[in-house]
Structure 1
Amino acid sequence: MNSGITERKSLRLLVVIASYGTANNAYLDRVIQEYRSMSFDVDIVIISNIDKRPAADVECIVGLPNKNPWSLPFAHKEQFVARADQYDIFIYSEDDILITEKNIRAFLDVTSVLHEDEVAGLMLVEKASSGELNYPQAHGSFHWDCTSVKIRGDYCLAQFTNEHAASYILTQQQLARAIASGGFLVGPHEGKYDLPCTAATDPYTQCGFKKLIPISNIDDFSAHHLPNKYINRLGVDRQQLDAQLSVLMQIAREGSNAVPLFSAETRLWHGMYSKDYYEPARDEVLSGVPEGAVVLSIGSCSAANERRLLERGHRVVAVPLDPVVGSGLAQFGAEVVLGDVTTAPAKIATEHFDRLLYVDVLQFVRDPAYLLRLFSGLLAPDGKVIICAPNRPSLRYAWECAKSGKVFRPWGTFEAVGIHDTTIGRIQRWCAEAGLVIEKIERCGSKRTGPMLQLLSPILATDLIVTAKRHEAWKPFFRGGHEMERMEVSRRSVAQ
């Protein structure tokens, strides 16, 4: 266990704040005011591209690590290394993150029960004028890792896959470990995250630490993102967060072996093309579901499609990517089937469905044809499979690569990057191998029309919508109802 810090009256904190330009000066003043109100002995250093010294006792260091303005946050590392033996606590943050004494005391308390490679982290929160709370880190592919739940002392902790909270806190002992790892004092770089985010996440991504958020005490580990600019744009509200935390804490209490259906995150630049856990409803998919159809949604997340179907009066059964996102599906009335690709099909082996939905999931499994065949035995006689997948590679991919300066970077194998190309040819092959016959393929994503745009649709379209049915000669992969004797083969074939 980490021995933590024996608190004394003169506990010393070094706070380094990255502040570029003048746009956030009002937030910076509020942040400094908060640190000045603390009962600790706090030294504040601002790193900036311009000289800004809001108070005589605040140090300002001017200069960028390189010519890229976004490299500024990396300048905090030299300050930490140079003063590593002078302080008990080291805090880095951007200039609009309000960390309170309550946050720091909670950090000190939980640190005493953590393992040496574990660091307690913060969750960002925003506050609407109505009092509603928004947690903006929950967007895109970022989600709670249902396999990460831990009990440490009186705390229940879990990992959120978005380690970036525009800030972090380390003890002197933890900073020394980070420096010794060789991954801390490095030049500006990016990979999973962009430059400023990488500067705030290197302790977790490069120095061997696991960032654990004490979900049982989430308010003590929530830091206010002062601009509140993501409300109604991205993130989850407090009700959604509480539902997810409730599932995680239940997993911890029961000691259950929670597993995801499969991973849906890529190892591409900045996690490009990973599954969007908060995706909107897809009208082009739902238009293929006739009135009264019973629907099975495989690999579901946000509940947007399922909720729309429930509102239309459909019976909806969902096999979510993991039990945490499944809590939202159940809340709206979907019947949720939990498990991995081995156990989930067995639980509904005697059911029949009019539509099977695979919305942006097939590309994330090693053997998509096997996953298609695994569930196609649940189709009603006239049932259809609807597949939605990115039109990849496409002009969008080339553009994203060009923006990152990686336009000529090879795509790589599935084993290397965790994702397949989803061209029409590949989807046709997967369907054929699964005993499915394609009825139609639609290209979606561009609302513009015209002969030239139609000609360019293979590279301009962002998505492909495929409708298929079982081949007349199709035979069940598994026979005898629940006799799933080839389950282990299934698990190995589908899982990454």
Structure 2
Amino acid sequence: MDSQNKMHILAVLVNYGDEQISYLKAVVTKLKSFKKYNVHVLVNSNIPLSIEGIDTVKVIELEDYQLLPLTCRKTIWEHRKNYDLFIYGENDHLFLETHIDKHLEYENILPSNMISGLIQYEKSGDEFYFPGYHEPFEWDFNSVRSYGGKKFAHFKNVHQASFILTKNQLDKIGSKINFCELVDDRESWLKIKWKNAQIKFFDRKFIPIHCYSRKCKVNTDVFKYGGYKKMICISEFKDNLIHHLPNLYIYGEKGRRKLRSDENTMMACINKLLK
């Protein structure tokens, strides 16, 4: 395909410090290897970077570096008119060209209120583990739907440390939320409840809502408040996995241990959903 006719993608990655530079290099190398797309790689970082394949580095100084990932959403919004598709990712999540292919395919078959997503995995030898599959999160077994001959379901943990959005999807989400700011979970919950006239009295301290961290909310806001329900294609499940390269959650390195799900547990649930 002629370079002029390829879809133009802006991939905005966040990087803090030099601890994960090896993962960042792998992510950038993979993005720049895409054959069907022109990918511009931009990295928002707190330190200067000189890595082959990165087209633009924005060195950003903040008082609170927990907000460094949010600057990526601001960068994407600033460039929303200049690209066809947008990627956000942390510096250790490996995007594949298949992810883009499938996202575009699913956009054409899913209803206008649904968006496809990814599931994070880690790997030890030949074994897969899924760090996002832990208490209190589970699959919604009543959400299974078929579109275009494929089956989709909703996974209740919408966090994936990344997102892929076409320009149309970005524009719609931007009409629902301030794309450059984090959504106030509690305020949004109250608005929904008041709108539906489901509560008459409340105590803000006891609002039953799971709030993601500010770092996670950079992607979870998009899926929770952007006007879409996030769906995973379960009939092509392995095409919609994204590798968290450090594999930290498997053995609980650096205090990151969670109630993990191994491949057998996950695939048992996928088989149940498919039935």
* TM, length-normalised to structure 2: 0.83
Residue 224 in 1 paired to residue 243 in 2? yes
Q: CA deviation at 1:182?
A: 2.8
What are the within-5 Å matches in structure 2 for residues 99-178 of structure 1? 99-129=95-125, 131-178=126-173
Structure 2 vs 1, CA of residues 156 and 183 (structure 1 numbering), >3 Å: closer, same or farther? Answer: farther
The answer to which structure has the higher helix fraction is 2
Residue 75 in 1 paired to residue 71 in 2? yes
Counterpart selection for 2:13 from 17, 21, 44: 17
Is the Cα contact below 8 Å between 1:15 and 1:45 reproduced in 2? yes
Q: CA deviation at 1:67?
A: 2.2
For residue 58 of structure 1, what is the aligned residue in structure 2?
55
What are the within-5 Å matches in structure 2 for residues 188-227 of structure 1? 192-227=211-246
Give the aligned residue type for 1:72: L
Higher relative contact order (CA 8 A, sep 6+): 2
For residue 263 of structure 2, what is the aligned residue in structure 1?
238
Query: How far, CA to CA, are the matches of 2:183 and 2:176 in structure 1?
Result: 17
Query: How far, CA to CA, are the matches of 1:231 and 1:168 in structure 2?
Result: 23
Structure (1 or 2) with the larger CA radius of gyration: 1
SS at match of 1:205: helix
Q: CA deviation at 1:187?
A: 4.6
For residue 45 of structure 1, what is the aligned residue in structure 2?
42
Give the aligned residue type for 1:152: Y
Is the Cα contact below 8 Å between 1:53 and 1:59 reproduced in 2? no
For residue 204 of structure 2, what is the aligned residue in structure 1?
none
Q: CA deviation at 1:190?
A: 6.6
* TM, length-normalised to structure 1: 0.47
The answer for unaligned runs of 5 or more in structure 2 is 187-210, 252-256
Structure 2 vs 1, CA of residues 69 and 57 (structure 1 numbering), >3 Å: closer, same or farther? Answer: closer
Is the Cα contact below 8 Å between 1:148 and 1:159 reproduced in 2? yes
Structure 2 vs 1, CA of residues 158 and 56 (structure 1 numbering), >3 Å: closer, same or farther? Answer: closer
Query: How far, CA to CA, are the matches of 1:188 and 1:205 in structure 2?
Result: 10
CA deviation digits over 1:196-231, x for unaligned, max 9? 100111111222221111111111100111001111
Query: How far, CA to CA, are the matches of 1:154 and 1:67 in structure 2?
Result: 50
Query: How far, CA to CA, are the matches of 2:171 and 2:53 in structure 1?
Result: 30
Is the Cα contact below 8 Å between 2:42 and 2:54 reproduced in 1? no
The answer to which structure has the higher strand fraction is 2
Structure 2 vs 1, CA of residues 187 and 238 (structure 1 numbering), >3 Å: closer, same or farther? Answer: closer
SS at match of 2:235: helix
Structure 2 vs 1, CA of residues 158 and 197 (structure 1 numbering), >3 Å: closer, same or farther? Answer: same
What are the within-5 Å matches in structure 2 for residues 285-300 of structure 1? none
Q: CA deviation at 1:184?
A: 2.1
Q: CA RMSD in A?
A: 1.8
